[in-house]
Amino acid sequence: MITIELNNIINTGYSGYSKLIKFYHEANKYKNQEILICIKNLEWIDANLSALLDAILHKLAHENQLTFTIDSELAQQKFDVLLRNGFFKAPKSSVDIKKTTLPNAQFSVVDKTSYIRYLEDSLMKHRGFPEKLSHLKESIIDQLIEIFCNSHHHSGSEYPFFVSGQYFPKQKCLIFTMVDLGNGFLPKIMQVEPKIKDSLAAIHWAIEGNSTKLKMEEIPGGLGLKGLLQYCSESNGGVQIVSGDGFWDSRDKGSMFSDGRTIENQFVGTTVNLFFKA
């Protein structure tokens, strides 16, 4: 059995994302092995990032025939939040009495109906969803559906679409995470905009409301990310996008990282984190 460690603090930011991707690259060296995920020195992980970890484990199991185990007793002691959101499976189902999580879930690319039901029942009705955005719920759902549909359009894969979320009551912030395992923004965007040569430029192109669908298939699209950025910003939150080796966070505006950062060891697909603040 191979042991790979997750340690320190893994939160929804550049550092936390990099640590999970480091785990992926360490595990990706092996095939047909059982891997123990050691969490002895892991102090914290944002529950919404279980969507990314779930995607990583799914890809490694499918492509490398890896199986994963974890000290379930230690996991229950240290990270009951991952029991409450359904990421860790326990003999008895765990109820999120604190109401601080959104279920960890994955959806087939053709199962838009279940995804919409999740948005309506889990995200929009969550106590952490800002009341000041309640009149925009239908519009926000439309934007999130577009993200779901575009993920398959850009990805070129049949992998599921992964989601999860966590509400932080002290910060009055609800984080919703979406992950696809496709090719990321850049390959498709380069087909219609050859001047765009890197992932960060592709992220900026997409966040401005541009669409490869419109140019390649004459189908309107591209407003999903732009609209969500507007809505999250209105609630003093923001949008964080990781695609290819590009990492961009709207909340970094005015800082040295306002244009984004490059990730040394990139992962596939795209991760979008939405920050809604009450």
Window from 101-115, 143-157, 193-207, 222-236 with minimum mean pLDDT: 143-157
pTM of the model: 0.93
Which superfamily does 2-277 belong to? Histidine kinase-like ATPase, C-terminal domain (3.30.565.10)
Over range 47-51, report the average pLDDT. 98
**Beta-carbon neighbour count of residue 19 at 10 Å?**
18
pLDDT of residue 220: 33
Q: What is the pLDDT of residue 76?
A: 86
pLDDT exceeds cutoff 80 at 259: yes
Taking 80 as the threshold, does the pLDDT of residue 93 lie above it? no
Question: Tell me: the pLDDT tens digits for 200-236?
Answer: 999 999 898 776 654 544 333 345 788 899 989 888 9
Burial class (CB in 10 A: 0-12, 13-18, 19+), 250: middle
Q: Please tell me the predicted confidence (pLDDT) of residue 155.
A: 56
> What is the overall mean pLDDT for the chain?
90
Position with higher pLDDT, 64 vs 75: 64
User: Which amino acid appears at position 170 of this protein?
Assistant: K
| Residue 173 · residue 275 · CB < 8 Å | yes
pLDDT at 191: 86
pLDDT of 2 reads: 96
The model's pLDDT over 16-34, given as tens digits with 9 standing for 90+, comes to 999 999 999 999 999 999 9
Q: What is the mean pLDDT of residues 187-209?
A: 89
**Residues 28/38, Cβ–Cβ less than 8 Å:** no
**CA-CA distance, 242 to 31, in Å (whole number)?**
27
pLDDT, position 154: 57
Burial of 187-213, coded b for 16+ CB within 10 Å and e otherwise, reads ebbbeeeeebeebbbbbbbbbeebbbb
Task: Give the start-to-end residue ranges of the domains of the chain.
Answer: 2-277
